[in-house]
Amino acid sequence: MLQTIRNVFTVKDLRKRLLFIFLMLVVIRFGSNLPIPGVNPAYFRELFSKMSNNDAFSWFNTMTGGSFEQLSIFALSITPYITSSIIIQLLTVAIPSLEELQKDGEEGRKKLTEYTRYVTIGLSLLESTAMAVGFGGSGLLIGFVSASLARKVAGVALCVIAMTAGSALLMWIGEQITDKGIGNGISLVLLFNILSSVPQDFITLYERFIQGKNTATKVVAVILIAAVLLAMVAFAVVLQDAERRIPVQYSRRIQGRATAGGQQSMIPLKVNTANVMPVIFASSLMTMPVILGQILKVDYGTPLGKVLMTLNSGSWCKPEAPIYSIGLVIYILLLYFFAYFYTSISFNPLEVANNMKKQGGTIPAVRPGKPTSDYLENILTYIIFIGATGLTIVAIIPIFASGMLNVSRISFSGTSLIIIVGVVLETLKAIDSQMVVRNYKGFLDS
């Protein structure tokens, strides 16, 4: 491993790419601490401290690397880009013209990327306007209440422009990292944001379970925390890499004087077919009403407020109020639903079966065409169930610990852990491919 790292830094091109990623990381962290002019940087920090169940905001704050809580120019981070990417991906199923673009090679993908950028800017404008208008009068914008109409409009406009520009800049940085760095830039930006909260999370764990305890209790607490974290990381790695390999035999055919085909291949079906998407979809669907309720200042003593508390993950698994854990059941059902839904739009068994038939490929003991499609669909049915169950386990462990042990949710658990593991493995594979080209032994070689 150490030899491989040394080899990476001995290659000039890889050194330049890693240096570029590091410089972009510095820019991201600088922007994450640069406050928007005319706003109260401590507003959301004070709001969080007053809210007993603020997991909806905490999850969003983790995705932004703490920028949301500090009201920096990167307060929205790349969340609008992620949302717009999901929207465009879903629309490719519903709109035939977008589906054609997706199949149109490099030019089609460039066009879809362009549409994603437009949607990102639109979502950034919408989200920043809702934040500025919804929270402006309650202390977000300095002097908003007593200001004239013109100054109020100017304050809102400045806040909206700053946050939208920050989101657009992060989108551009992510694309530049993809082109000039290593791995997927947007994923790396998200990884940087999540990891930036890790030091504070360790401080939280120390204060909750170790500080002020006797020596024996401290040792046991450290061992248990380390064991749980290592077990969750190991489980997430296995979940991300596990796959079912379906053998495919290609028939031998004569092309002129040459013989083609006759080789064996595999169709690798990942156990976690939808990756982290079901968790993102389900979490977004559950947290959106909670955030809107906070903007509209809904009274949690009313029936609508009770419903919002049920949807808020901060209310789940609390012994004093078990009724709110109904929301956890809804969340788990959504995870399974979106796991099947996302896989259905990203993997088409009939299309795979038809392509295999055209190329002379068959699965042993399965007839080509519709029987092959049915065979793949049946395998997918239980593979998706296993993957969704794994995602559910990783997602609910921190929720259960947060409710039962009354500890703040840490950023490197649950959804964030799946993202961290997925991005790290993806980046290692990208580095490995670069090293293989240069005849070095890669990270992932056994």
Q: For 403-409, what is the mean pLDDT?
A: 69
CA-to-CA separations, 376 to 49, 240, 350, in angstroms, rounded: 50, 20, 9
Q: Is the pLDDT of residue 252 over 90?
A: no
Predicted local distance difference test score (pLDDT) of residue 257? 58
Q: Is the pLDDT of residue 208 over 60?
A: yes
Q: For 198-212, what is the mean pLDDT?
A: 82
Q: Is the pLDDT of residue 111 over 70?
A: yes
3-class DSSP string for the chain: CHHHHHHHHHCHHHHHHHHHHHHHHHHHHHHHCCECCCECCCHHHHHHHHCCCCHHHHHHHHHCCCHHHHCECCCCCCHHHHHHHHHHHHHHHHCHHHHHHHCCHHHHHHHHHHHHHHHHHHHHHHHHHHHHHHHHHHHHECCCCCCCHHHHHHHHHHHHHHHHHHHHHHHHHHHHHHHHCCCCHHHHHHHHHHHCCHHHHHHHHHHHHCCCCCHHHHHHHHHHHHHHHHHHHHHHHHHHHCEEEEEEEECCEEECCEEECCCEEEEEEECCCCCCHHHHHHHHHHHHHHHHHHHCCCCCCCHHHHHHHHHCHHHCCCCCCHHHHHHHHHHHHHHHHHHHHHHHHHCCHHHHHHHHHHCCEECCCCCCCHHHHHHHHHHHHHHHHHHHHHHHHHHHHHHHHHHHHCCCCCCCCCHHHHHHHHHHHHHHHHHHHHHHHCCCCCCCCC
Q: How confident is the model at residue 369 (pLDDT cuts 50, 70, 90)?
A: confident
Integer Cα distance of 10 and 22 in angstroms: 17
The Cβ-side half-sphere exposure at 151, using a 13 Å CA radius, reads: 10
pLDDT digits (tens, 9 = 90+) for 47-103: 766 665 556 677 777 788 888 888 889 988 888 898 888 888 878 877 888 888 877
Q: Is the pLDDT of residue 251 over 90?
A: no
314 Cβ contact list (under 8 Å, min separation 6): 52, 53, 54, 55, 56, 58, 402, 409
Predicted local distance difference test score (pLDDT) of residue 254? 58
Q: Is the pLDDT of residue 443 over 60?
A: no
All domains of the chain, ordered by start, with CATH?
A: 1-197 (1.10.3370.10), 242-410 (1.10.3370.10)
Predicted local distance difference test score (pLDDT) of residue 432? 78
pLDDT digits (tens, 9 = 90+) for 286-324: 877 887 777 777 887 888 888 888 888 778 888 888 888
- First-to-last alpha carbon distance for the chain, in angstroms, is 11
Q: For 92-121, what is the mean pLDDT?
A: 84
Q: Is the pLDDT of residue 332 over 70?
A: yes
Integer Cα distance of 401 and 46 in angstroms: 25
Q: Is the pLDDT of residue 343 over 70?
A: yes
Predicted local distance difference test score (pLDDT) of residue 20? 92
Q: Average per-residue pLDDT in the chain?
A: 82
pLDDT digits (tens, 9 = 90+) for 143-191: 887 788 888 889 899 999 999 999 999 999 999 998 888 888 888 898 8
Q: How confident is the model at residue 259 (pLDDT cuts 50, 70, 90)?
A: low
396 Cβ contact list (under 8 Å, min separation 6): 328, 331, 332, 414
Pairwise pLDDT comparison (318 vs 384), residue with the higher score: 384
Predicted local distance difference test score (pLDDT) of residue 53? 54
Predicted local distance difference test score (pLDDT) of residue 262? 59
Predicted local distance difference test score (pLDDT) of residue 445? 54
Highest mean pLDDT among 68-82, 110-124, 200-214: 110-124
| % of the chain residues with pLDDT over 90 | 13
Predicted local distance difference test score (pLDDT) of residue 444? 53
Predicted local distance difference test score (pLDDT) of residue 333? 93
Q: For 119-129, what is the mean pLDDT?
A: 92
Integer Cα distance of 389 and 332 in angstroms: 9
Q: Is the pLDDT of residue 446 over 80?
A: no
Structure tokens at 206: 């120390």
pLDDT digits (tens, 9 = 90+) for 422-431: 888 888 888 8
Predicted local distance difference test score (pLDDT) of residue 118? 94
Structure tokens at 98: 């977008």
The radius of gyration of the chain's CA atoms, rounded to the nearest angstrom, is 25
